[in-house]
Amino acid sequence: MAAPQYCGYVAIVGRPNVGKSTLLNKILGQKISITSRKPQTTRHQVMGIDTHEQYQTVFVDTPGVQRKHDSAIHRYMNKAATSAMLDVDVVVLVVDRLQWTEEDAFVAASIKPTEAPVILAINKVDRLVEKARLLPHIQSLASELSWADIIPVSAKSGHNVDALQGAIRKRLPEQAHFFPAEQITDRSERFLVAEIIREKIMRAMGEELPHKAAVEIERFESEARLTTISALIWVERDGQKKILVGKSGANLKAIGSEARTDIERLLDTKVMLKLWVKVKASWSDDERMLQSLGYSETR
């Protein structure tokens, strides 16, 4: 008789910049969701699939839930985050060390209607100077929600991530696996390439360029030993384009070089990458433009 299989959907939620994407990447052992030190790096739900023996966990990494939604893209991102909590089997709320902000409380309140068990993952504990403060902090959070588990982790180092995975797996329903064991994401290579380029923009520009850059893959052609990719980077103002391109194109060249390295690792082939920058005023508040870039409030 075949051993029973367990499979379910897990939403990773939290306010911006608490380490949700880093946690997903650590669990999967491969970069699927992009990261940077700037909040709101993740814009799309990214499905990561972890298969371990009879357990298959299908993760949804979400944009950071935020109270402001003054543009179409912010509305989309909040919609993506809150919809991820519907029809899932487990919710993992990620918070940053000893912090419990109004935004954390806002996210916790948005979770309350779900019937799924909620695990609190206290991230970045490796960076705690006063370790003795952790237990009182955990005790203080016990009343915020009916937690299924509270687990301190470090997504960066991997500390206690296996314990978190175990807590998730034991709550998965018994049912057949949804995906082949070797599959780790439902996203296309084109999507992942666009996300890699966007990550390099966020990392290279620091605070100079706000989250007003989007990446559109115009050409993706694979041959025996070479993949040719042309990508268009949209910004909202001429000044942003100037910053992004840099003197004599230096910034754009550096972004392209960094992105090419990761893309070649992803595709396991040589890559010819060409980048262009165009200006589209207020693209982040243009519903039609957002839909053409793969965003949708109803998704």
The number of distinct structural domains making up the chain is 2
Residues 137-163 have pLDDT tens digits of 999 998 888 999 999 999 999 999 999
87 Cα distance to chain centroid: 19
What is the domain-level CATH number for residue 241?
Answer: 3.30.300.20
pLDDT at 120: 96
DSSP 137-201: HHHHHTTTS--SEEEE--TTT-TTHHHHHHHHHTTS-B---SS-TT--BSS-HHHHHHHHHHHHH
CA distances from 149 to 71, 119, 227 (A): 35, 5, 45
Give me the half-sphere count of Cα atoms (radius 13 Å) on the Cβ side of residue 216: 18
Closest by Cα among 294, 291, 279 to 245: 279
Answer yes or no: do 52 and 132 share one domain. Answer: yes
- Which helix H or strand E contains 256, and what residues bound it? helix 250-267
Are 165 and 205 found together in one domain? no
Q: Is the pTM of this model over 0.85?
A: no
Which of 169, 200, 220 finishes a domain? 169
- List beta partners, residue 49: 58
Which run of H or E residues covers position 239?
helix 238-245
190-235 confidence digits (pLDDT tens):
988 998 998 899 888 866 665 678 888 999 999 888 999 999 998 8
In this prediction, residue 230 carries a pLDDT of 96
For 16, the domain range is 6-169
Same domain for 14 and 69: yes
The predicted pLDDT at position 290 comes to: 67
Question: Could you tell me the pLDDT band of residue 6, with boundaries at 50, 70 and 90?
Answer: very high
On whether the CB atoms of residues 30 and 37 are closer than 8 A, the answer is no
Residues 271 and 154 in one domain: no
Q: Give the chain's count of helices (H) and strands (E).
A: 9, 9
Tally of residues, the chain:
299
